[in-house]
């Protein structure tokens, strides 16, 4: 039996409830690097995820400044068409080729150029989903850049189009020009704000939601300790991030509150954290990263884990005690199992 799936809005795609996130495999040498990463490990991890039934991968050109897309292309090369997962990427972040440590510009002036480079790096003729990574600060307004994505969809360069990190007003404005197939917001036990606004808006308007960072870059995996956080190397962006420094105490207290729930279900803490994001009505799936095959195995049980109302109440109490994160404490009820 395969992994459970949910529809991505009205796109016609059925996605497994967890997808493989390819941020961390971008490697060294850019402003949000996770540190050194062996491409052979990355390729083995991607192929393992596919073998376990995961049917979509999410990446972006900015992850390793093209390198993540290149690694995915190498991992998928030679796979029969029937075995290939959907590949989702993004546009609208342009990095400085002279200084890869500078933050990228939020720039929508070269979307067509970005798409051509993503197609080349991924080794595909069409993108399954193209998303605007962040609301651009440079270039045309939303009505122009969203129209460009609509035109790319109409021309067959991309199958579906979406927005990432956009709010409900921006979603509504885009919808007036052409259907939005998906939204990618941050969604985790620590980043809960989208559950109060964007997620219900998308559920009402039949827009798919794929939440990112449900494990908060490993912090909610159950494997982090204060000692490990203090030992993160300088080439790992997390070493200076507030979630891993000034906010670490409350965050680890919340992780401790997940352990009894995990034990009852016979799964790891990571699976509980991801299942919590999947419990919100309207969420299609969660993007989860891994740098080694064993990490996929750690969180894969989340795909089919349904938390009970009692579980959700216990987790909400843990959030309140710890004071960690922001946003609503729990969904009103466990998400229905609209799985195939």
Which residue numbers are catalytic? 63
Q: Do β-strands 105-106 and 127-132 pair in parallel, antiparallel, or remain unpaired?
A: unpaired
For residue 56, the SS3 value is strand
Backbone angles phi, psi at 23, to 5 degrees: -65, -50
Residues, the chain: 340
Instruction: Give the orientation angle of helix 39-51 with respect to helix 67-76, to 10 degrees.
Output: 50
CA neighbor of 279 nearest in space, from 184, 164, 195: 195
Q: Which residues does residue 158 pair with via DSSP β-bridges, in sequence order?
A: 127
Alpha carbon separation from 197 to 185, 204, 238 (Å, rounded): 11, 11, 27
Instruction: Please state the three-class secondary structure of 219-282 as a single string.
Output: CCCCCCCHHHHHCCCCCEHHHHCHHHCCCHHHHHHHHHHHHHHHHHHCCCHHHHHHHHHHCCCC
Q: Do β-strands 208-211 and 285-289 pair in parallel, antiparallel, or remain unpaired?
A: parallel
């Amino acid at each position: 039996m395969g992994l459970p799936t949910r529809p991505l809005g009205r796109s016609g795609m059925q996605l497994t409830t967890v997808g493989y996130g390819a941020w961390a495999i971008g490697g060294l040498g850019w402003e949000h690097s996770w540190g050194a990463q062996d491409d052979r490990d990355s390729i083995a991890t991607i192929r393992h995820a596919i073998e376990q039934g995961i049917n979509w991968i999410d990446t972006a050109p900015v992850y390793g400044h093209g390198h993540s897309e290149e690694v995915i292309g190498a991992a998928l090369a030679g796979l029969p068409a029937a075995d290939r997962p959907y590949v989702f990427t993004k546009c609208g972040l342009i990095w400085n080729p002279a200084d890869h440590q500078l933050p990228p510009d939020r720039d929508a002036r070269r979307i067509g150029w970005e798409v051509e480079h993503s197609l080349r790096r991924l080794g595909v003729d069409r993108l399954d989903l193209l998303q605007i990574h962040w609301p651009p600060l440079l270039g045309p307004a939303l009505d122009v850049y969203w129209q460009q994505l609509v035109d790319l969809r109409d021309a067959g360069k991309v199958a579906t189009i979406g927005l990432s990190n956009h709010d409900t007003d921006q979603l509504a404005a885009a919808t007036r020009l052409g259907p939005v197939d998906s939204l990618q917001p941050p969604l985790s036990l620590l980043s809960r704000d989208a559950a109060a606004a964007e997620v219900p808006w998308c559920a009402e308007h039949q827009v798919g939601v794929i939440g990112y960072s449900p494990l908060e870059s490993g912090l909610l995996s159950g494997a982090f300790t204060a000692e490990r956080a203090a030992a993160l190397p300088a080439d790992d962006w997390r070493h200076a991030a507030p979630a891993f420094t000034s906010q670490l105490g409350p965050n680890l207290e919340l992780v401790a509150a997940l352990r009894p729930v995990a034990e009852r279900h016979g799964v790891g803490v990571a699976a509980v954290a991801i299942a919590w994001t999947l419990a919100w009505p309207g969420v299609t799936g969660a993007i989860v990263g891994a740098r080694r095959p064993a990490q996929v195995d750690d969180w894969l049980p989340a795909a089919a884990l349904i938390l009970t109302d009692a579980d959700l109440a216990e987790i909400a109490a843990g959030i309140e005690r710890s004071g960690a994160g922001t946003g609503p404490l729990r969904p009103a009820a466990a998400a229905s199992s609209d799985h195939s």
